Amino acid sequence: MLRSFIPTAPDSHFPIQNLPYGAYQTEYGDIHLCSAIGDFVIDLFVLDEEGLFDGPLLKDQFVFQDSSLNYFLSLGQAAWTEARETLQALLHKDNPRLRDDDLLHSRVFKGREEVEMVLPCDIGDYTDFYSSEQHARNVGSMFRDPENALMPNWKYLPVGYHGRSSSIVLSGTELHRPKGQILPDNSESPVFKASERIDFELEMGFITGTGNKLGERIPVNEAESHIFGLALLNDWSARDIQKWEYKPLGPFLAKNWATSISPWIVTLDALKPFRVEAPEQSPAPLEYLAQTNPTTFDIQLEVYLKTSKMNEPERICTTNYRHLYWTIAQQLAHHTVNGCNMRPGDLCGSGTISGNEKGTFGSLLELAWNGTDPIRLHSGESRSFLEDGDELILTGSAQGDGYRIGFGEVKGKILPAIS
């Protein structure tokens, strides 16, 4: 097994087999692109400054001198693979170049818990899909006829909507409870007030690398070559605001107030060993969505809740990314089939990821079944929706043979509404 001179525990999210991408703020206020291994951040700016990215596609490109990943993303899959292979070679246990140079070592490696992470790319556009069949069935059963839980179009296309990129925030950002119009029960007129039904949505998102020109489309069997990697998402929701506003055009204020993203983007190269067969699709998708070999990824996901009365968070959900009905290739192919142009750094969310049993549902709306069956916590508290002071922690990883490819965490705490 590939090993580094930097020690990593078997349960570390960041072994040499991972090497995700992020960005951090230096003590001087500059933004440096970085990777991670074990308990350390790897400063890619310094490695690039030293001329160590010297492969044919990256030599003299200075891609890691930028303050965002966007230019690097635009270079395409071959350049991404070259950068990853260069990093793995530099970090290999038998390579003295970085291992034995004490000065360079001290400049490159920073304690991961000691640095302030920032968003690693400029996210120009954000689309949120609705790709978990079980989640769609659960929601449809609550608010419509359980026998007709899915809308007629659901199994023919990856349903999605255009979100708001300006309110995508990094893990750790605390969020004020949003306000909006809410229709009280047994009332014909709405009121303006703070949402009382704040919810999380366990999602993952993919980051677009190379895009496409306006008017052109990305074929489904080429789509993954345009996708750089995956990140964890918590796409927060205000369910009571959403209930009133979503017809006829879908969610607006209920969703655009915040989406939390993990600091790390895990590349598709790192996830290759964890490919699994995608769920069977029936009816067969239309030709432009028909993949030759549809696959997805075996990524275990967990959600923890920490109330203000708890010393330690409690796990309330465990599920898996492989439950998604629509693949990332199908999502991207559908997004562009009308000629919509994608750009480096664009983000597409998966939609809430739910399994087939209650403990695998990826939102409180489902876990507490719209407030009719509140979840019971070890602290003696119960929750139907989130209260002020509640903190959500999302995490995920793929388990290999003796190593783990992890995504870190997405944390977010709900604060009282601003008066």
Distance linking the first and last C-alpha atoms of the chain:
56
User: Within this chain, do residues 61 and 191 fall inside the same structural domain, yes or no?
Assistant: no
Within a domain: 220: yes
- Provide the residue type at 191 as one letter: V
For residue 2, tell me if it sits in a domain.
Answer: no
Q: What pTM did the predictor assign?
A: 0.96
Asked whether residue 253 falls in the same domain as residue 333, the answer is: yes
Give the mean pLDDT of 349-372. Answer: 97
**CATH assignment of the domain containing 186:** 3.90.850.10
Same domain membership, residue 221 and residue 186: yes
Report pLDDT for 256: 97
Query: What is the structure's pLDDT at 208?
Result: 98
Same domain, 142 and 103: no
For residues 201 and 185, is the Cβ–Cβ distance under 8 A?
Answer: no
Position 230 in a domain? yes
Rounded Cα gap, residues 268 and 203, in angstroms: 17
Domain count, the chain: 2
**Around Cβ 321, how many Cβ atoms within 10 Å?**
23
Q: Is residue 192 located within the same domain as residue 78?
A: no
| Residues 25 and 155 placed together within one structural domain of the fold | no
pLDDT tens, 246-278? 999 999 999 999 999 999 999 999 999 999 999
If phi > 0 it is left, if psi is from -120 to 50 it is alpha, else beta; for residue 254 that is alpha
- Its domain, for residue 147, covers 126-415
**Does some domain include residue 15?**
no
Over residues 186-212, the pLDDT tens digits come to: 999 999 999 999 999 999 999 999 999
Whether residues 202 and 57 share a domain: the answer is: no
Q: What is the pLDDT of residue 1?
A: 87
Domain check: are 373 and 304 in the same one?
A: yes
Q: Of 52, 86, 118, which residue constitutes the final position of a domain?
A: 118
The C-alpha atoms of residue 246 and residue 69 are separated, in whole angstroms, by 34
Residue 218 CB: number of other CB atoms within 10 A? 25
Question: For the segment 87-128, what is each residue's pLDDT rounded down to a tens digit?
Answer: 999 999 999 999 999 999 999 999 999 999 999 999 999 999
Q: Pairing relation of β-strands 275-277 and 237-238?
A: unpaired
Residue 394 within a domain: yes
Instruction: Tell me which residues are annotated as active site.
Output: 135
Residue 11 lies in a domain: no
The tokens describing 356, both together, are 């087939």
Q: Is residue 14 part of a domain?
A: no
- Point out which residues pair with 92 in neighbouring strands: 4
Question: Residues 149, 53: one domain?
Answer: no
- CATH number for the domain that contains residue 28: 2.30.30.230
* Six token digits for residue 342: 């994608």
